[in-house]
């Protein structure tokens, strides 16, 4: 068997080991590889910067299951909102139970920005019905929910008493999404009927499907994947999970490129070798 054939038939465990070693090495010591700030990240940053303290933003969580990449963008935008003194109202359309607790209390830490639950942020909990739930929140917020996720009457909170049933009271809707109803639901229930600005956050995988809506300005901005998250963290001056993840991401990109290059070179050599090129 020629070298080219051996390379093409390499044991996949060697590939798995290479992947593990590369990620491990690049996670140990950050190299600080610069990231490119995309226009959709800049648009999101400028939108948050244009808000005034006390303005309100609606967060529609459609994430289930949850990985760090899916919530990284939402975390950094929420940090920016807290820094600017913007009030947030959260609700979920999926049953990933303590998602907002985990994000707000363990990652964003609104109390460190002086934000208080009930006065500066509210969690309405899980709203059933997927897109019907989104529609109910958009059309009749105060009639749809009466207690928060913890079972407390919303009327006791000052932020709830400031809210009305007009969806346009929110300056924009942040949509961390990966699942149904996700992007399409937020577009149909908030952007099209009320003209609300929408900002999407999710994994890099969602960038392609959301791009047509950003290009037509139905989506105002996006933070998709770790590179966008790292760029946003640089803009607000708070390095976090995005910045930590760019080095392993770069390493993986180079590894995949290298593997594809090697396998194709081996394939071409094998083909050029002709009939005698391989031995079974």
Partner 1 sequence: MKMSFLRREGPLIFTSVVAFFLIIEYYIANSQLTLIATFLNRSAMIVGAFLLGFGIINMTLIHTKNIIQRKPKWPFSLYLLILLFVTLVAGLIPPLGSNYYYLWLFNNIYTPLDPAIFSLIAFFIISTAFRALKIRNLEVSLMLLFTVVVILRNAPIGPATFPPIGWLGDWVIISINTGVQRALNLVVALGAIAYGVRILLGVERGYLKGAG
Q: Name the residues that contact partner 1, by CB under 8 A.
A: 8, 10, 12, 15-16, 19, 33-36, 38, 65-68, 95, 97-98, 102, 127-130, 132-133, 135-136, 139-140, 143-144, 149-151, 193, 204, 207-209, 211-212, 215, 225, 227, 230, 246, 249-257, 259-260, 263-264, 267-268
Q: How far is the CB of 49 from partner 1 (least distance, A)?
A: 24
CB closer to partner 1 out of 54 and 193:
193
Where would I find the beta strands (DSSP E) of 62-181? 87-92, 121-126, 170-176
Q: How far is the CB of 40 from partner 1 (least distance, A)?
A: 10
CB closer to partner 1 out of 54 and 258:
258
CB closer to partner 1 out of 35 and 86:
35
CB closer to partner 1 out of 97 and 116:
97
Structure tokens, 186: 């937020």
CB closer to partner 1 out of 110 and 227:
227
Q: How far is the CB of 127 from partner 1 (least distance, A)?
A: 7
Q: How far is the CB of 128 from partner 1 (least distance, A)?
A: 4
Q: How far is the CB of 202 from partner 1 (least distance, A)?
A: 14
d(CA 148, CA 117): 11
Nearest to 53 by CA among 117, 122, 115: 115
**Secondary structure class of 124 (helix, strand, coil):** strand
Phi and psi at residue 88, in whole multiples of 5°? Answer: -125, 145
CB closer to partner 1 out of 55 and 233:
233
Note whether 175 and 71 are within 8 A (CB).
no
**Secondary structure class of 201 (helix, strand, coil):** strand
Q: How far is the CB of 45 from partner 1 (least distance, A)?
A: 18
CB closer to partner 1 out of 16 and 24:
16
Decide: residue 66, CB within 10 A, 0-12 exposed, 13-18 middle, 19+ buried: middle
d(CA 242, CA 69): 8
Neighbours of 155 (CB within 10 A): 10
Nearest to 218 by CA among 245, 243, 191, 238: 191
Q: How far is the CB of 99 from partner 1 (least distance, A)?
A: 9
């Amino acid at each position: 068997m020629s070298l080219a054939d051996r390379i093409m038939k390499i044991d996949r465990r060697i590939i798995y080991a290479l992947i593990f070693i590369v990620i491990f090495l690049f996670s140990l010591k950050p190299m600080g590889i610069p990231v490119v700030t995309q226009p959709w990240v800049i648009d999101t940053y400028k939108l948050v910067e244009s808000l005034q303290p006390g303005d309100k933003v609606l967060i529609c969580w459609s994430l289930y299951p949850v990985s760090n990449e899916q919530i990284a963008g939402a975390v950094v935008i929420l940090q920016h909102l807290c820094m600017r003194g913007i009030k947030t109202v959260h609700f979920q359309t999926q049953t990933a139970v303590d998602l907002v607790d985990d994000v707000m209390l363990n990652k964003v830490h609104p109390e460190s920005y002086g934000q208080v639950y009930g006065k500066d942020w509210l969690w309405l909990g899980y709203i059933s019905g997927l897109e019907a739930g989104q529609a109910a929140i958009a059309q009749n917020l105060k009639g749809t929910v009466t207690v928060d996720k913890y079972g407390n009457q919303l009327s006791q909170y000052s932020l709830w008493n400031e809210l009305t049933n007009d969806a346009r009271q929110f300056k924009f809707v942040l949509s961390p999404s990966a699942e149904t109803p996700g992007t399409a639901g937020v577009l149909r229930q908030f952007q099209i009927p009320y003209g609300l600005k929408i900002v999407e956050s999710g994994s890099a995988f969602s960038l392609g499907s959301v791009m047509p809506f950003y290009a037509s300005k139905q989506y105002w901005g996006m933070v998709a994947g770790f590179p966008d998250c790292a760029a946003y963290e640089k803009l607000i001056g708070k390095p976090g999970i995005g910045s930590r993840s760019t080095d392993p991401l770069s390493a993986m990109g180079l590894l995949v490129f290298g593997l594809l290059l090697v396998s194709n070179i081996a394939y071409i050599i094998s083909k050029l070798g002709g009939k005698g090129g391989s031995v079974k």
